[in-house]
Structure 1
Amino acid sequence: MRSWFRLGPATLVAAAFIGPGTVVTASLAGANYGYALLWALLFSVLATMILQEMAARLGIVTGMGLGENLRQLVAQPALKFLLFLLVIAAIVIGNSAYQGGNITGASLGADAIWGDTLIISSIRAYTGLNPWALLIGTLAVSVLWHGNYRLIERCLIGLVLLMSLAFVSTMLLTRPDYGAMLQGLLLPAIPRGATLTVIALIGTTVVPYSLFLHAASSANKWQGVHNKAEALQQSNADLRTSIPLGGLISLAVVSTAATAYFGRGLAIENAADLAVSLEPLFGQRATYLMALGLLAAGLSSAVTAPLAAAYALRGILQLSNLHFRLTWLTIILIGVVVSSLGLRPVSVIWFAQVANGILLPVITFCLLAAMNMAILGRYRNNWRQNIVGGLVFVISLLLSGRSLWLAFAS
């Protein structure tokens, strides 16, 4: 019997794109523009499903991650060198910079739930460091160091389900306007000044490092499986479940912020503000649920971001298992230091955003080329998949061009 819904490697993608950055972006979208930008979320979910289906199919059929396939696809030495530099800049260096935000976001959630206990206060007073960052970094290292792929997948499935429960329950407690929500989903509109927010909503969902993560994790999941058609059916069922679930989480955050802030003349700076401000409006339960969702979002991204960077680097540079572990361990340690000391590496983040803006259309184009390789046989892209993928490529090119212009203009 064919399964239409399941949870698997695509859950890692949902766990990756629902991080503190996405929660903050979605909160600001709802607070500033209500439900008007929900259509951008719907588009980003559809675009993510299109690209991730190709990445998963590539991993399952070839038994290799995207990095390994790119190394074989790009034969010209100069082009290969440029591609490698882009991947290292955007994914490895970029995720190192963003890891501090992931751990900080999880720390804010933990602090909103448990507050300054005696132990936490003592550690902070004597060391000057953020104890929550140390604990969350230790948890991330523990999951990746001791866990095989199956354990990592189960941990992240648990975190995604926890995020879903927390954010959707918070949305229901705030009683959103379902009519306005439906209108925002189906009728595209860009209010005055909302262009940057639209780009941010799409950019936090359709990200290049998730393609490396999904291709490699799918290759691991179905390694040695001879029935490729059945494996692809299972992967597609996983996509139909996990990616829309991630979209539902983002929708819940936008809707909660819209209900709590839009039209009330209130300002919001980050997701922690949203968690704290919900209590006088909707009670203590809403505050705790929102904080719990932020904790789960930060922890899930604190695991997936270094893992994705390690997969990308291993595929391209043919790293050993030891160097694979050292890659994600280094990224986690950088994140802990950045979060503990309250640093904000603005220049590094700017550099990573520029590299990401260049990398997304490049990787999308390379993925489309890889999906037409003869080695895939009957699993190559058909003409419909190429047209849809080409459309996503053009849109990613336009969005990236706009992001790069804004990065240099600022």
Structure 2
Amino acid sequence: MNHDSHTPTDAATPTAPPPTGFTDYVKSLGPGIVVVVSWLGTGDFISASVAGSNFGYALIWTLLIAILSRYFIVSTMSRYQLCNSVGDETILDGYGRVWRGFPTYIGATTCVLGFVYVSFLLIAAGTALDHLFAAVVPAGQWGTFCWAIPTAAAALWLASRRDGHYRALEIVAQLTMAVLVLSFFVALVGTGVDFGELFGGLLFELPPGEAGYITAASTAVGLIGAVGGSAANLLYPYLMHEKGWRGQSYRKLQRIDLRFGTLVMFGLVLAVWVVAAETLHGTEQGVSSADGLALMMEKAIGPAGPPIMWCAVFFTVFNNIVTQPRVFVRMFVESLHKSRPDRAEHIRLRHRMPANAHKELFLHDRVFWIVFLLIMTVPLVFSLPFMPGMVVLTLLGNSVNVLTVPAVIIGLIVMTTRRDLMPASHVNKWWQTTTLALIGAIGLWATYQLILSVVNLLG
């Protein structure tokens, strides 16, 4: 059954024309790059550099498995949103069919995540700008806070745009991607690549020593859990919706777009891993923060390395700040409208919106703007000198995923296996359901380990 034949189209978000040829497909790509840049926080770079500095090329296969796991999760979400047989426009609609309370629960917990994410992202952005402009504008210990303020203001302006919001996201993402590709291309030229070791790292090579198997297993589980169970996976279906992709006719384009974005992400994180392996492995020097990344780049290409790295860090986290909070708060407000349809109808009538514009009502709801402004501004206090550092907040943010992992995975499994919600050609096969369950279990285990790390760090 073709979803297009019965799915309403939002007046404020017109359906994009389906591509018909190679050039059209290339021009239509977009959500994959936007979401990949949103997934690439300093945490991804730090994790890859830590693994590269500690183990060299040995565990690169764990990165490959982790990214394939994320691709599988997000592709499954996209399959439901585009191919369901009941007219659901967004993934949150599907969760509501599993249990009425799911949308509200997911919306509320992702808002909590958004607050924590923005807190450490603003610290990262402020730190990057402080390092870049310290010689021009010396601010001492207040540098991070001073630069976090204009960062938050610029991100708030972009993220609050009613018209052209998605196009602004694409421009920011494309600019960020250009900076990242250029940065690590230059770094790889400076360090070189040991292709023999790289090939071995993709063939399940284990580090030497008795703890090799344990190290490989724990690293793989940690990476898979971090990406497979991340609430940030919910971003991609909503970016597709903002792009205007509706119905089964966009499934091919969506797969190409997500595969391209996933490939780019793998290439960028792999580049960080290789640079760390070439510059830090065997030197007893590691990476534990964004400062370590700058040191790594200095070893790779000299004095120009740190400024290049700080530029890459800033653009990456800025894209996150612009993208994540708006989607997370939108999910919360849409869940509020699903539980209180009278509120949604009142807003629609007050603003004289057409009946098929229900997915854009969030922009006219005061709750959206109140919560959104709180998430975008209050986290600035964590940039003050006496507040917890970025490492603590990053661990805390990742551990809060325990609030969303069970709901996201369980709901997704139920949605995509129910034949009353999915056409027979798109319902889960047994192996797909098993894979989802396995990734979910690993995600819960990894989140539990992160919580223990936070408890130990704070204790």
TM range, smaller chain: 0.7 to 0.9
Q: Tell me how far 1:94 sits from its aligned partner.
A: 2.3
2:174 maps to 1:157: yes
**Partner of 2:315: helix, strand, or coil?**
helix
Of 319-328 and 270-279, more deviation after overlay is shown by 319-328
Residue 94 of structure 2 aligns with an amino acid whose one-letter code is N
**1:382-410 CA distances to partner (integer Å, 9 max, x unpaired)?**
52xx5134213213303422431563484
**Matched residue, 2:405:** 360
Equivalent residues of 2:159, 2:323 under 8 A apart:
no
Corresponding residue for 2:441?
A: 397
Partner of 2:196: 179
Unpaired segments ≥5 residues, structure 1: none
Residue 306 (structure 1) aligned with residue 325 (structure 2): yes
TM-score (norm 1): 0.84
Deviations 1:305-360 (A, max 9, x none): 31332233134223832333433332221332212445228998776544413532
Within a 5 Å distance, the mapping from 1:330-345 to structure 2 comes to 330-341=374-385, 343-344=387-388
Asked if 1:54 corresponds to 2:73, the answer is no
1:238 to 254, 257, 270: 257
- DSSP 3-state at the match of 1:388: helix
Would the aligned equivalents of 1:57 and 1:215 in 2 still touch at CA under 8 Å?
Answer: no
- Whole-Å separation in 2 of the counterparts to 1:137 and 1:99: 9
Between the aligned partners of 1:100 and 1:36, the Cα distance in structure 2 is 34
Q: Which moved more, 1:297-306 or 1:194-203?
A: 194-203
**Deviations 1:343-382 (CA, angstroms, capped at 9, x unpaired):** 2289987765444135324312311222244344356325
SS of the equivalent of 1:306 reads helix
Q: CA deviation at 1:138?
A: 1.5
Q: Taking structure 1 as reference, are residues 324 and 203 closer, same or farther at Cα in structure 2, changes over 3 Å only?
A: farther
AA of the residue aligned to 1:328: F
1:264 is aligned to 2:283: yes
Contact 1:278 1:287 in 2 (8 A): yes
Of the structure 1 ranges 42-51 and 305-314, higher mean CA displacement relative to structure 2 is found in: 305-314
What is the CA deviation profile of residues 96-148 of structure 1, one whole-angstrom value per residue up to 9, with x for unaligned ones? 12222212222333333333423x53xx68x7762221121122112111242
- 1:14 and 1:195 map into 2 onto residues whose CA distance is 25
1:88 aligns with 2:108: yes
If each structure's helix is expressed as a fraction of its own residues, which one has the higher value?
A: 1
Rounded to whole Å, the distance in 1 between the matches of 2:393 and 2:257 is 35
Question: In 2 relative to 1, CA 362–280 (structure 1 residues): closer, same or farther, beyond 3 Å?
Answer: closer
Task: Please give the root-mean-square deviation of Cα atoms over the aligned residues, in Å.
Answer: 3.1
1:74 corresponds, among 93, 99, 106, to: 99
Alignment of 1:65 onto 2:90: yes
**1:327 to 1:185, Cα distance in 2 relative to 1, 3 A:** farther
Aligned length: 395
What's the % identity of the aligned pairs? 20
The aligned runs of 1:281-296 (5 Å cut-off) are 282-296=301-315
Give the secondary-structure state (helix, strand or coil) at the position aligned to 2:206.
coil
Is residue 2:176 matched to residue 1:134? no
Greater shift, 356-365 or 142-151, is seen at: 356-365
Aligned counterpart in structure 1 of residue 47 of structure 2, from 3, 18, 25: 25
1:380 maps onto 2:426 in alignment: yes
CA deviations 1:230-286 (Å, max 9, x no partner) are: 311211111111122112111111111111111012233213223135335532233
**C-alpha distance in structure 1 between counterparts of 2:144 and 2:396, whole Å:** 27
Higher relative contact order (CA 8 A, sep 6+): 1
One-letter identity of the residue aligned with 1:233: K
Query: Partners in 2 of 1:93 and 1:371 — Cα distance?
Result: 27
How far residue 18 of structure 1 moved from its aligned partner, in angstroms, is 0.3
SS at match of 2:126: helix
Q: Is residue 39 of structure 1 aligned with residue 50 of structure 2? A: no
Please tell me the residue identity of whatever aligns with 1:368: I
TM (normalized to structure 2)?
0.76
User: Does the CA-based 8 Å contact 2:395-2:450 persist in structure 1?
Assistant: no
Q: Give the C-alpha shift of residue 19 in structure 1.
A: 0.5
SS state of the match for residue 423, structure 2? helix
Whether the 8 Å contact between 1:59 and 1:218 is mirrored in structure 2 is: no
Matched, 1:210 2:232: yes
- Cα deviation, residue 196, structure 1: 4.9
